[in-house]
Structure formats: structure tokens, C-alpha cells
Structure 1
């Protein structure tokens, strides 16, 4: 089976949960018994049902056939799996672009809401090109690779308007002038205009509980599966699920309490833009 070669996506959690429910409710098979019937190891079937491995539509067909579902129902489940496996740009990564950017984009494409918490930089979904390019190059990335990363980021930004998105930004991030004075001003103006485009931007004042500002993260919710959290770490990101992800709901509630309102955040941003003119 080649299903473990790719990073798992939320589709796998949905499909896995559906297959687990079918096994438990429509058959008398234990996990071990079903795995033996399929010729799989129990560990592989467990990972499949828990959505932590990539599952192909062919494997879905094998499972529902082994479970002896009616032909019409089998066809519907297999077709759903094929439709959910349709490729996005992240399945055709650009040279020089970290795989992590594609994985995150695939999660965001399946989400119905995204909430960013950014400590020291403007969130990627709201960045402008000069700001992003200067940020990457300040970290030692050459101009050619930085440009490729921008192409990927620009594609990812197209999701705005199709998903409920809110960015919580620490006030300190608003004072870091990546790209120089003009790029800094233009970046802040982009944040001001975000509200007009239906995007939530809320600034968190400098003084707040340390537990919130310790690191940046993205909280993602999905229509038919539990939330996933992407935590930024050096060189990429870590994905948290289930009980670990639930911990960040409390941090999100804390941000809602300590952040400025949208109106006050907009006023602060406008004052900063005015200072840079």
C-alpha cells in the first residue's frame, strides 16, 4: 500500500471516521478481524480510521467491498473519496518551496474557519510582497527562492473571501519594518483595508499573559471533523489534533478577551500609517 507516502489531510480524518463507523455499525468485525480480512496490519487500519495516513480511493473501494456494503452505497462512498482527492496547487509543489507551505495550504483549503495568532510578524495570509520578500531574505533565503515562496503564498491568499478568517496580531509585530519605511506603511494599509474585505483584524496590546504570546499558531475548524492547530516552529510547523488542539480553544478565548475590538484595532492601525506618511 502506498497510502502513507503523502502528508495526511482533513479529508483522511473524514473518510477514516466514516469507515470506522461503517465497521462498527454495519459489521461484526473487530479492528483486528477487519485488518485480517483486508490483508492489512491492525496498525495500518487503525491509522486509516483515525485519519493519520493518506488513504486512496482504491483503498476505500477495497474496504467497503470487504464490508459487503450494497453496490449503490459502495459507489457513492468511492465517488466521494475520489472527489475529495482532487488536487490543488499544493499537490504540485514549486521547486524551492518547502513542503510545509503546501501541507498548510491543503488544510486551509478544507477549513471553514481560520484564526491566526501572530506574535512578531504579520500573518502570511495578509502579507504584501515587499514585506514578505524582505522577511524571508532577512532569514538568509536567497531572492530566487523567496520569489518562489511568494508565488506559493499569493496562491494561498486566494482563499480569503471563501473562509471565515480572523487575525490576532501582537502590537509588537506592527512596529517591525520589513522592507523599509514604504513597505512597512503599505503593509499596515493592507491591514486597514482588510476589514473592508470582511477580514477580521484585532490587535493584542503589548501587555498580556505570557502563556498567550509564547508562540504563533493557526487554529483551523472543519465542517465534519475536529479542529487542527498548526504551531510555528523553526523550519516549519507542528500539527496538533484532538485533545492537544482543544487546549488552544482556551487560548483563543483568552485572545478574544484581551485583544482590542475591530474598531479600536483599525484606529490604532490608521494612526500608525499616519505616522509613516
Structure 2
């Protein structure tokens, strides 16, 4: 056991082990611990990624939960890689925990579907735009060094995405209001529009604009992102962020609701071609 923060992979494994206990058995935490011959505290710490779990312990848990075959083999193999740390761990002590965790999840995702209401998606922001956003979010109460750390983290996040051999597939729907909100001045916004246009030329990027004329839609309640992972056993996760914290939605039915909402919004939004045309008009203004 160690005091260091858990890696993103340890969090993902812990969450999956908890879901398997809850979905494949009728065992509560105490009953499962008894069946494993462990203390309730030990099992709770494993399910919350506070205690490292070994491959042998994962096998023991999966046997109790009647998990067999390829899923068992995949989870045991995955458990042997959970100590791996990524580029985002450099920022774990200088950024909010929720944001650092999200960067790790995003970096390991296979695909990402997002709706952003107030701001351009972080993977698409220019450095100037990011700088003005970070300064606004921190409300001038933090030193300039904190702003620069946020900007550096976002730029590193973008490089990690674009330089990957098989980068995350990004499908983002941007609310038109984010383009009407002038952040940093007209030239910053024009450069931001040009940057998005450049990214839409990449085969792994799908970009749409939700026009004001579309009226009401499921996303009016706020921004969200759905992340999918390459491992078949790992369920999709929804990330919802607010000013001071973040919510991770992992319940299968709730994630499915967000997925249906995204599909509906994609049908209501401008087509990719119409969206780029709007960006080109804005870039010329």
C-alpha cells in the first residue's frame, strides 16, 4: 500500500471490479469480503482505488463473481499494467484532481463524443484562447504562474493527442454561443476558428455546430463528454464538469441516456460541411 495517488488505470480497474460485484452478484460489500476471506475495509479500499490490487487478487474476486473466459483473462492482463503512469501525471500535484484524472481518461480513450456549450473543446483551443480562458476561470485570484500551468497542461494534452500513432477519435458538437462569445478579442477568435478548420481536415475529427436556430435540445442543461475505451471490458464513462468539481457517470443506463441525447443533438446540429462554412465566415470577419 502506498500514499501516492492512484493511476488512471488503477481507477478504471477498481471501478470495474466494483461494478462486477454489484451487477453479477447479489453480494453487498460485507458479504463479498467474507466470501473472499478478506476484511470489509480491504475490499472497500480496493474498490475505491486506495489499495493496489494484485493480479492474483483480481482472479480471486472474479472467481467469486463468476466471471470467466475472455473477460477474466482481459481483466487479469489489465491488472498487471495498472501501475503505468502517463504524461498527465506530471500535473497531478499542480492541477485539480478531477481535471488531472480526466486528462488521463481522455488520453487512454479510443473515442470521445462531446457537447460543449460555453467554450471551444480543450483539444481544439489555440494557446492564446486557452490563456484567456484560464485567466477568466481563475478569476485573477491566482498567480500568473497558475495560469501558465493550466495553459502548459492543455498544450501538452493537445500534443499527446495529435502525436499518438492512433489518436482518439473526436466528435464534438459546439454550441454557436461559444463562437459568439469574444474571448481575448476578435483576432484571437479568428485564429481560433482557423484552428478548428485545420483540425477538421484530420480523419479522426468530426466537428458540428449547434445553431441557435435549433431551439431546445438535450444539451441546453450543460456540456458533457462520453469516453469510450479500447478494452472491451471497460464501460463508457460520461464526464460532466462544473465550476468547482466534476461528475463521472458510470451507470450503464445513464450513460446510454447521454449517448441517445448526443445522437439526437448530432441530427439537429449543422452538418460538418455547414459547420466549416460558418467557421470560414467568422474567420473572415
**TM-score, normalization: structure 1?**
0.80
- Long gaps (5+) in structure 2: 65-71
C-alpha contact 1:170 1:204 (8 A) present in aligned 2: yes
Q: Which moved more, 1:149-158 or 1:87-96?
A: 87-96
For each residue in 1:179-198, what CA deviation from the matched residue of structure 2 results, as whole angstroms up to 9, or x when unmatched?
Answer: 22221111110011111122
For 1:257 and 1:245, locate their aligned partners in 2 and report how far apart those are by CA, in whole Å: 19
* Residues 234-273 of structure 1 mapped to structure 2, 5 A cutoff: 234-242=243-251, 243-273=253-283
Residue in 2 that maps onto 1:221: 228
For 2:167 and 2:236, locate their aligned partners in 1 and report how far apart those are by CA, in whole Å: 18
Structure 2 vs 1, CA of residues 85 and 177 (structure 1 numbering), >3 Å: closer, same or farther? same
For 1:247 and 1:3, locate their aligned partners in 2 and report how far apart those are by CA, in whole Å: 37
For 2:105 and 2:77, locate their aligned partners in 1 and report how far apart those are by CA, in whole Å: 21
Q: Specify the SS of the correspondent of 1:120.
A: coil
Q: Specify the SS of the correspondent of 1:190.
A: helix
How many correspondences in the alignment? 261
Q: Specify the SS of the correspondent of 1:92.
A: helix
For 1:179 and 1:95, locate their aligned partners in 2 and report how far apart those are by CA, in whole Å: 28
C-alpha contact 2:117 2:175 (8 A) present in aligned 1: yes
Residue in 2 that maps onto 1:56: 52
* Residues 143-158 of structure 1 mapped to structure 2, 5 A cutoff: 143-157=144-158, 158=160
Residue in 1 that maps onto 2:209: 203
Structure 2 vs 1, CA of residues 77 and 222 (structure 1 numbering), >3 Å: closer, same or farther? closer
| 1:9 counterpart = 2:38 | no
For 1:20 and 1:171, locate their aligned partners in 2 and report how far apart those are by CA, in whole Å: 41
C-alpha contact 1:122 1:169 (8 A) present in aligned 2: yes
Residue in 1 that maps onto 2:196: 191
C-alpha contact 2:134 2:151 (8 A) present in aligned 1: no
**TM-score, normalization: structure 2?**
0.78
Q: Specify the SS of the correspondent of 2:147.
A: helix
* Residues 82-121 of structure 1 mapped to structure 2, 5 A cutoff: 82-93=80-91, 95-121=93-119
| Residue number among 160, 184, 187 corresponding to 1:182 in the alignment | 187
Aligned CA RMSD, in angstroms, stands at 3.3
For each residue in 1:71-109, what CA deviation from the matched residue of structure 2 results, as whole angstroms up to 9, or x when unmatched?
Answer: xxx999655412233101233325532222210012112
Q: Which moved more, 1:219-228 or 1:189-198?
A: 219-228
- Long gaps (5+) in structure 1: 69-73
C-alpha contact 1:231 1:239 (8 A) present in aligned 2: yes
Structure 2 vs 1, CA of residues 206 and 44 (structure 1 numbering), >3 Å: closer, same or farther? farther
C-alpha contact 1:177 1:184 (8 A) present in aligned 2: yes
Q: Specify the SS of the correspondent of 2:56.
A: helix
